[in-house]
A and B are shown apart, each in its own frame.
Chain A
Amino acid sequence: MILQTSPLNNALVATVQIKEGNMALADEFKTELLTLIDNGNQYIIINFEHVIYVDSSFLGALVSALKHAMNKGADIAVVGLNKDIKSLFQLVRLDKVFKIYTSAQQALNGA
C-alpha cells in the first residue's frame, strides 16, 4: 500500500508512504486513489510529507485521479509538499489545478 488513510472530520487524509514517487509506483498510486474516490470519499487530502521527489508519471497519476474525483463530485487537496515538489507543481501549473495547503488541518479549514 502506498497510501495510509485516516479520517479527519469530514475528509480523508491519505498519506503517501514512499520517498520517491516514480514511474514504477504511479499505477499503484493511481489505483489506490481511484478506489478511495469510488468508495465515496468526497474530500481527500493527500499528504506528501514523506515524499522527497516525484516524477512526471506520478504527477500524471495524481491529475488523472483528480479528473476522476471531479467527475464524481469529489475533491482532492495536496499538503506537505517539500520545496522542490512545490516548485515543480508551480513550474507545470499544477498549482492552478490542485488546492495546495501546508497541513491537513489547513486543507480542512480551506475546504
Chain B
Amino acid sequence: MPKSRKILLVDDSPLVLKIIGQALEKDGFHCLKAGNVPEAMAHLKNEIPDLILSDYQMPDIDGFAFRQSLMAIAEYRNIPFMFLTSIADHDRMREGMDMEVIDYIIKDTPIALVISKINNFLNSIRERHERTIQELSTVATALNLYSIPQDAPAVNGFDIHFWHRSYQNYPGGDFIDLITIDDQYTFIILGDVMGKKWGAWFFSFGYLSYIRAAVRLCVSEGDLSTKSIMQKINSVIYHDPVVSGLLSTLSLIMINADKISYTGAGDLPLLYYNKAEGMLHKISSAGLLLGVSKDGGFDEQVFTLQPGDQLLMVTDGMIDKQTERGKKTDLKGFENELTRHLGKADSFTDMKENGFLNEIAREQIDDCSLIFIQKK
C-alpha cells in the first residue's frame, strides 16, 4: 500500500473545509485543514503535504498573497499548489499562472471531478519522479557507484546476509560493505550518513572510500585492530573539510575464524542472540559519531560466536517508525519483535519471507539496513 497522500486544504469557510475534507478523506487522502493562511503556515512547519488546495478569496491574507509567500520560501516553493475558487476572474487567473500554480478548480465543480483532477495530477508527478529516480539510478549503476553491495561474500563457518530498503525509492545515507581480505579475515561495514537524501547518498561513497582505504592500509601494515582502523577513518574525516560537515555512524566488524572484533562510532548496539541461553543481548560500543571529535573515544570488543549464535547490525531506519501518536524511535519494540524470529536455522529467511522485514519497510520513515551473521 502506498502511503496516504497528504493535502493541505485552506479555506475560510468551515463548510467547504468540511465537505471537501470529507470527500478527500473518503478517497484515502490525509487532509490537513486550515481556516486561514497563518494556520496553513503552522501546518507547513510540521509537515510538508503532497499538494496545497487553497481558496482564492479569504479575509486578511488572500490566496494570492499566500502563494506569493510560499514562493519566497525555498522549502515550500515546490509544493504543488492548486487554487480553489468561486471567481473565474481572467486577469487574476493570469496573475496566478505567473506564480506556478498547477491548476484552478472552480468551487462548483462536482466533487468527484475535483478528486479525479487531484489524483491525476499526483499520479503524473509520481510517474515523473519515478522516471527521474530511475534515470539517476541507471547513471549511478553505469558509473559503478554502489553504496550497497550486490551479494554477500561466502565466509568460512558463517552465513552472512544483508537486507536494505531505500526510503520511497530515494537512495539514502546507509552504506554496507563486506571486504574479504583472505581466507582468514573478513570486514563487515555498516554506516549511515546523516543528512539529506541525495547529499547523504553522494557522501556515502566518500565515506566508503576512506573506510576501504583505512581497512586495506591497516591490514597491509599488519594492524588488525578494528579500533585502530576506526581511529584512522575518524582522523581523516575529522580533518577533511569536504566530509567533516556531514556526520556518519559506523559499525565495523572483523571476522577471524570464530572470533569477532567490533568497534562502533555512534552506531546502534549489535544485537547478539546467544543460542545456548536462548536470549538476545545488546553489545554497545563507546565511540562517538565519525568526525565529531579528534580521538572519537573508540573501544574494541572481541568475542566468540558458538554454532547457532546470531549477530545483527542495524541502522536507525529499522527502529524508527510512524505510530498513531507520531514518529518514534523504538529499539525495545524492534528487539521484542525480532526475538520471535531468532534462534532458528533459517532465521534470516524467516524474517525475509514471513513478513517481518516487509512490515518494517512498510512502517519506515528512513532508509533501513540490516546485516545478519550466523555461526554455522
Chain A residues in contact with chain B, CB under 8 A? 2, 17-20, 22-28, 52-53, 55-57, 59-60, 63-64, 67, 84-85, 87-88, 91-94, 96-97
User: Which residues of chain A are near B292, meaning CB under 8 Å?
Assistant: 63, 67, 97
- Compute how far the CA of A94 lies from the CA of B292 in the bound complex, rounded to whole angstroms: 10
- CB-CB nearest in chain A for B246: A60
Asked whether B197 lies within 8 Å of A56 as measured between CB atoms, the reply is no
Known: A26-B195, A27-B196, A63-B289. A93 touches B266 (CB 8 A): yes
13 contacts between A and B (CB under 8 A): A17-B45, A18-B45, A19-B326, A53-B329, A57-B200, A59-B194, A64-B247, A84-B328, A84-B329, A88-B329, A91-B329, A93-B288, A97-B292
Closest chain-A Cβ to B165's Cβ sits at a distance in Å of: 16
Asked whether B46 lies within 8 Å of A19 as measured between CB atoms, the reply is yes
17 more contacts with CB within 8 A, not counting A24-B75, A53-B328, A85-B329, are A18-B46, A20-B326, A23-B195, A25-B75, A55-B316, A56-B249, A59-B194, A60-B247, A63-B292, A64-B246, A84-B329, A91-B268, A91-B331, A92-B267, A93-B266, A93-B288, A96-B288
Chain B residues in contact with chain A, CB under 8 A? 45-48, 75, 173, 192, 194-197, 200, 244-247, 249, 266-269, 286-289, 292-293, 297, 316, 320, 325-329, 331, 365-366
Asked whether A94 lies within 8 Å of B320 as measured between CB atoms, the reply is no
- Compute how far the CA of A87 lies from the CA of B200 in the bound complex, rounded to whole angstroms: 24
> What are the nearest 8 A-B pairs in CB distance?
A60-B194, A53-B327, A56-B194, A92-B266, A60-B247, A88-B329, A52-B326, A19-B46
User: Which residues of chain A are near B287, meaning CB under 8 Å?
Assistant: 93
- Compute how far the CA of A67 lies from the CA of B196 in the bound complex, rounded to whole angstroms: 19
* Number of A-B residue pairs at CB separation under 8 A: 86
For the complex, would chain A's binding face be called helix, strand, loop or mixed by DSSP majority?
helix
User: Which residues of chain A are near B329, meaning CB under 8 Å?
Assistant: 53, 84-85, 87-88, 91
Asked whether B293 lies within 8 Å of A97 as measured between CB atoms, the reply is yes
User: Which residues of chain A are near B288, meaning CB under 8 Å?
Assistant: 93, 96-97
- Compute how far the CA of A87 lies from the CA of B329 in the bound complex, rounded to whole angstroms: 9
- CB-CB nearest in chain B for A85: B329
Asked whether A92 lies within 8 Å of B297 as measured between CB atoms, the reply is no
- CB-CB nearest in chain A for B238: A67
Asked whether A28 lies within 8 Å of B75 as measured between CB atoms, the reply is yes
Known: A17-B45, A20-B47. A26 touches B328 (CB 8 A): no
User: Which residues of chain B are near A92, meaning CB under 8 Å?
Assistant: 249, 266-268, 289, 316
- CB-CB nearest in chain B for A18: B45
- Compute how far the CA of A18 lies from the CA of B200 in the bound complex, rounded to whole angstroms: 23
- Compute how far the CA of A14 lies from the CA of B177 in the bound complex, rounded to whole angstroms: 40
User: Which residues of chain A are near B268, meaning CB under 8 Å?
Assistant: 91-92
Asked whether B196 lies within 8 Å of A20 as measured between CB atoms, the reply is no
User: Which residues of chain B are near A24, meaning CB under 8 Å?
Assistant: 48, 75
Contact of B366 among A56, A59, A85 (CB under 8 A): A56
- Compute how far the CA of A37 lies from the CA of B267 in the bound complex, rounded to whole angstroms: 28
Contact of A55 among B289, B320, B325 (CB under 8 A): B320
- Compute how far the CA of A17 lies from the CA of B75 in the bound complex, rounded to whole angstroms: 17
